[in-house]
Chains A and B, each alone.
Chain A
Amino acid sequence: MTDGFAPSGARLAAINCTSCGSPLPALAGHRSKTLICSYCGAVMDRHDGYRLLARYRDMDRPDGPFRIGMNGEVMGVEQTIVGIVGVDAVIEGYRYDWTNYQLYSPTHGYSWLTWADGHITHSRKTRDMPESSGSFAYKAPIAAAGRAFQMFEQYAARITYLEGELTWVPSLGDQTQVIETIDPPHGYSIVMGDNETEFEFGTYLDRAETLAAFGIEDSFPRAYTVHAIQPFLPGSLHMALSKVGSIFAIVALVIGLAFLAIGNGQKITETVIVDTDAGGSVMFPLNRPSRLAEVRLTANVVNSWSWYDMELVHEDSDETVAEFDGGLEYYEGYDSDGRWTEGSQTATFRFKPPAAGAYRLTITTGDPQSARLPVKVEVRENVMLSRYLFGLAIFFTLCWLSLWLRSRAFEAKRWGDDGEDDD
């Protein structure tokens, strides 16, 4: 039998189980107190000649990617998996389970990797006690280890599986009370056993990096939950969209408002046609054929409508450029909700003149049923549109806010405030 925790035991070694004789690796250092056989569940006292302390047969190894003897770098330190502890807890009526892997480093001692729902965290004991006292209410602030944590949850953790080398003498079914506090990507836990209270400092690890460090291919189901200490890490594209969107939302809004203020263009002419049955016309020059011109009709229609036929003639050639029709309708009244209105007493027609020059617009009543009212005709040119910029401002604002909304949804999922029913 060769024991790895002998003074020269920095090398890999193995012993045979004193109960079933199976070969077992001895990888941990001197402070490892027990060795649990992977085959027969025998719990042996390493400091007492591997004396049999207990035996737990037929334990089902919990899910997880790591195995005893695996080596990998965790947070910059070469570590070896030396033990496995399965744990479960019932929190608010739901059973949760996770797997703790005892890590050993000859230079840094013992710590834990935890696999929970596809998330990987690292934790180690710390001498830092809570700096604040008082009740541990949900979300209450708790200062410790120089950080401001928030109370996350409290539960009783129960051991459901044991294997390998561990630094204490565990029993299957042992329970400890745990208070978990969080400050993502870190966590601080107060672990209260029967005889002692320990404090642990945890860190959320990148799953892909950690598995790769141990040479494990990541074929495990992806994590669908948000871990208590998982940081919110949006992608670089989303970060860029939000950051740049916040700038351009304001730029687009300002330009859009400027267009709204000055985009009415210049009034070219305004006249009133009293008798549209007889027809009337208005003459005006349009000198910017690349820009929008606008004909605005206004009539005092109330609970009625009027319809007009219009003809736009280029005066220089005396030929018709366009024929079009359009009308106004406006209704108003009172009901149980108060006053209501519908329609408008103004209609706008926009067009780009095909060429510079003088134009004549002829307007006549377009429908025998149409109301006969004097109609004001106003012509403007150099009209600008703000709709595109307002549309862009909305899009940029959504880009900007989407990161905040995503962060809120992430936090709601972390704290279980997202309204999802786990049933």
Chain B
Amino acid sequence: MTRIVFVVFALATGGATWAGIYGIGGEDAQIAKSIRSGSGGRIGYIGGVK
């Protein structure tokens, strides 16, 4: 049981570290929404947040 919990906790810690480094979920929602509103990830699409 200890080994299973160890693996689960290690994966959680690794996931949190990865998310922290790459800033997953750290974006300002308004900016992220504006960026996402572009088409196909193409740079230059004007977001319509306001």
- Point out residues on A near B: beta carbons under 8 Å: 236-237, 239-241, 243-245, 247-248, 251-252, 255-256, 259, 263, 290-292, 309, 312, 314, 316-326, 349-352, 354-355, 383-389, 391-392, 396
Contacts and interface: CB of A to CB of B under 8 A. Distances in A.
Nearest to A383: B23
B50 to A, nearest CB: 6
Contacts of B6: 240, 244
A251 B13 contact: yes
Contact of A388 (B4, B20, B45): B20
Given A320-B47, A321-B43, A351 B16 contact: no
Q: How many of chain B's residues touch chain A, expressed as a range?
A: 35 or more
Contacts of A388: 15-16, 19-20
Nearest to A351: B31
A346 to B, nearest CB: 14
Contacts of B13: 248, 251-252, 255, 389, 392
Nearest to A391: B16
Given A240-B6, A248-B9, A349-B28, 7 more contacts: A243-B2, A256-B20, A263-B20, A320-B44, A324-B31, A325-B49, A349-B31
Contacts of B24: 385
Shortest beta-carbon contacts, A-B, top 9: A319-B44, A292-B23, A322-B34, A388-B16, A240-B5, A351-B31, A240-B2, A240-B1, A248-B9
Contacts of A314: 43-44
Interface string B8-30: 01101101110111111111101
Nearest to B19: A388
Contacts of A316: 43
A322 B38 CA distance: 9
Contacts of B47: 320-324
Contacts of B21: 291, 384
B19 to A, nearest CB: 5
B8 to A, nearest CB: 8
Contacts of B10: 248
